[in-house]
Amino acid sequence: MTAVLDDRDHRILFLLQNDAWLTYTELSRQVNLSASAVQRRVERMIAAGIILGARADVALPEPAPPLTLYLLAELADESRQALQHFSATVGSSSAVVEAHYVAGEADVILKLRVRDMAAYDQFLEEHINISPLVRRFKTLTALRSLTRCTG
C-alpha cells in the first residue's frame, strides 16, 4: 500500500528528522493540527513503512587514555644540544605528559599516557628505538594512583 503524503506529512517528517524527541503537542503547534491528528499521521507513516524508527545521535566524550607509563632513559650524550634535541623529539608526541632531566639511575624520565600497549610500542618505534641519544631505557607501568596532588 502506497501512502500519499501531503504538505503537513512532509513537514512532520522534516521536523522529526531534525528532532525525534518532539512531542505530538510540539509538532501540532508547528503544523497547525491537533496533537491527536499529528499522532494519527505519524502512526500511519510508521504503518506504511515511511518512518522506520527514531534514533539518538550520541556524542561520547573521548575517553582518557587508560595507561600511564614511566620511561626511564639513560642517554648516550647529556650535552645541552643533545638534551634539546631529545626534548624536541619526544615533545612532539602527544603521548608525553611530562619530561624531566634527572640525577640518579636514569638521565630522563618521561611520563606517558597512551590508549594501549600498541600505542606505546608505536611511541617507542617513532621516538626511542631510532634515537642514537638513548643508550638504554626501561619502562614502569602505573597500576593506579595512590594519591591525588592538588598543587
Q: pLDDT tens across 75-112, in order?
A: 999 999 999 999 998 988 999 999 999 999 999 999 99
Q: In the chain, what are the domains?
A: 1-59 (1.10.10.10), 67-141 (3.30.70.920)
Burial (CB < 10 A; 0-12, 13-18, 19+), residue 41, is buried
User: Which of 23, 133, 135, 145 has its CA nearest to residue 83?
Assistant: 133
User: Which of 128, 131, 130 has its CA nearest to residue 112?
Assistant: 128
Residue 130, number of CB atoms within 10 A of its CB: 10
In the chain, the amino acid numbered 117 is: M
User: Which of 116, 83, 111 has its CA nearest to residue 98?
Assistant: 111
Burial (CB < 10 A; 0-12, 13-18, 19+), residue 114, is buried
List beta partners, residue 134. Answer: 75
Q: Is 151 a residue whose pLDDT tops 60?
A: no
Task: State the pTM of this model.
Answer: 0.56
